[in-house]
A and B are shown apart, each in its own frame.
Chain A
Amino acid sequence: MLPSHETVAVIPGAVALHAIVHECVEAEHPAWGLLFCDPFAEEKKCAHRVLVEAARIFCEADIGCVRFDYRGTGDSPGEFAAATPERWVEDILAAVEFARQHLRVKTLGLLGLRLGASLALQAANAGGGVDFLVLWEPVINGKQYLAQNLRRSMIKAMLTDDDKFDAGNVRRAHEQDIFDFDGYAISAEMRHQIESLDLLAAEPSFSGPALVVNITAKEQPGEAHQELAEALGGRVIAVRQEPFWARIGLIGAHATVEATEIWLAEQQASGIKGG
């Protein structure tokens, strides 16, 4: 038997969002809940299985979970071309309200991966009734995120057709008003908003417990992750694990999930107040 009873739901709001609610089988009304904030584009596809498994594992620990699709992505309606990170933060805020009511939990946190972690922090800063944050390998700097995507595109083009490969062509394609980001057409507005993202630029207004997880080949967390955790007054840990959001078929994220479970148990024991 699955540890969670999973139902499809619709989150009401400006756009009705598609959601999956993981209700805990063992605890009819868990005290704690987690709302998952997905990463973007190909990273969302690659991480899907890991996030589903993570929700089930958290349910085993009596933490109800909600996963949802931002507008214009997955099974949620809306035009992808019209979507922006600002709109997706609005979606998170709508989903927070929904998750709190639907799971009937007193304490609700956000668990975000990559760009989803960055958006989760923005939603929490917006005062969205978020009690705690779990940020898995957040995108700390939007310009670097886009630059890394350009690198990936260059490497893919290089490996696909080395004879005809022209790095200048790849760069020029990335500099178009609308450009291809892992197969997704990114609008100028979306690019602008992603480029503006800098989690270290201002003091976060969110003051609840926060866990920053640097998923890395290294034993120690990186400087930027440490800075972010410090700004949040939270904890940073390094989890040595392959980047599961970059690999289709890599479904294991046991170390990351386990480290998060331990932190959540500590927070539950410390009795943070929700709502």
Chain B
Amino acid sequence: MAVDAQLKDQIKDMIVERLFLNVAPADIPDAANLMQAYNIDSVNLFEIVVGLEEEFGLTLEDTDFSTETFSTVDNIAAFVDEKRS
């Protein structure tokens, strides 16, 4: 299922803001591995999880935790889309 570009932009905005990244949100490629490209560690990933809950109204279950889910903007967007539906 295609995820709309607006959702991906919102996710990029959230990541840049919460991780204090020195990069323009639009410059984050949808398929880039975030862990490798932006040195995302457990502290950063925690901020992303909190951001998904607070800004996207999600509640994450234990089974939602996998590195694959949070590895790219594409995957995060698909995850948000699925949780919302």
Contact = CB atoms under 8 A, between A and B. Distances in A.
B66 A152 contact: no
A165 B62 CA distance: 11
Those 7 A-B pairs whose CB atoms lie nearest each other, nearest first: A167-B62, A217-B18, A156-B42, A162-B67, A155-B42, A246-B43, A217-B17
A171 interface: yes
A155 B49 contact: yes
B63 A155 contact: no
Contact of B62 (A154, A218, A243): A154
Interface string B52-77: 00000000101101110000000000
A167 B66 CA distance: 9
Nearest to A171: B62
Given A152-B42, A156-B42, A217-B20, A168 B62 contact: yes
B65 A159 contact: no
A165 B65 contact: yes
Interface in A164-209: 165, 167-168, 170-171
B62 A159 contact: no
Interface in B36-51: 41-43, 45-47, 49-50
A273 interface: no
A242 B22 CA distance: 13
Contacts of B49: 151, 155
A154 B60 CA distance: 12
Interface string A208-221: 00000000011000
B2 to A, nearest CB: 27
Contact of B43 (A158, A168, A243): A243
A93 B42 CA distance: 36
DSSP class of B's interface residues: helix, strand, loop or mixed?
Answer: helix
DSSP class of A's interface residues: helix, strand, loop or mixed?
Answer: helix
A162 B46 contact: no
Nearest to B41: A159
A104 B42 CA distance: 44
A17 to B, nearest CB: 30
Given A217-B17, A242-B20, A151 B46 contact: yes
14 contacts: A148-B46, A151-B46, A151-B50, A151-B60, A154-B65, A155-B65, A158-B65, A158-B66, A159-B67, A162-B67, A165-B66, A217-B20, A243-B47, A246-B43
A87 interface: no
A158 B67 contact: yes
Contacts of B62: 154, 167-168, 170-171
A271 B63 CA distance: 55
Contacts of A170: 62
Contacts of B65: 154-155, 158, 165, 167
A217 B44 CA distance: 12
A162 B69 CA distance: 12
Contacts of B45: 155, 159
A247 interface: yes
Contacts of B47: 217, 243
Contacts of B17: 217-218
B61 to A, nearest CB: 8
A155 B17 CA distance: 20
Nearest to A216: B18
Contacts of A246: 43, 46
